[in-house]
């Protein structure tokens, strides 16, 4: 299957279990991998046979910068569902949500979750 990648998108959201996360917010990064048949788009040079990368970004932004969730797992789940619902041609998606500055002790670059979802 062909793929579209949109990576290292940066957003500011209010997700987390701790009150300061919900009040102050923090950065989130999102990486997407979308399975889509791109043969017709490549052969015809017709945008209607693919998906608009800008629209992918806007859908992602609306979820990550939208309603606050306790868990980044819930953010990823909502995003995967919205992507599959919005883009008919996408058959499967990988969503990775990266939280670079969670308020937990220790030394690390980031924490992240990754989910894989397809059409039922």
Catalytic residues: 99
95: three-class secondary structure by DSSP: strand
What φ, ψ does residue 45 adopt, rounded to 5°? Answer: 60, 35
Helix (H) or strand (E) holding 91: none
Report d(CA 92, CA 103) in Å as an integer: 32
Report d(CA 23, CA 82) in Å as an integer: 25
Report d(CA 114, CA 28) in Å as an integer: 13
């Amino acid at each position: 299957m062909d793929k579209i990648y949109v990576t290292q998108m940066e957003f500011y959201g209010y997700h987390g279990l701790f009150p300061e996360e919900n009040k102050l917010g923090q950065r989130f990064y999102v990486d997407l991998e979308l399975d889509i048949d791109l043969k017709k788009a490549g052969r015809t040079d017709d945008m209607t046979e693919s998906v608009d990368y800008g629209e992918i970004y806007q859908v992602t932004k609306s979820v990550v910068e939208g309603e606050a969730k306790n868990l980044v797992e819930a953010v990823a789940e909502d995003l995967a569902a919205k992507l599959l619902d919005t883009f008919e041609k996408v058959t499967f998606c990988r969503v990775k949500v990266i939280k670079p500055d969670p308020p937990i002790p220790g030394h690390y670059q980031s924490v992240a979750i990754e989910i894989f979802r397809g059409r039922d």
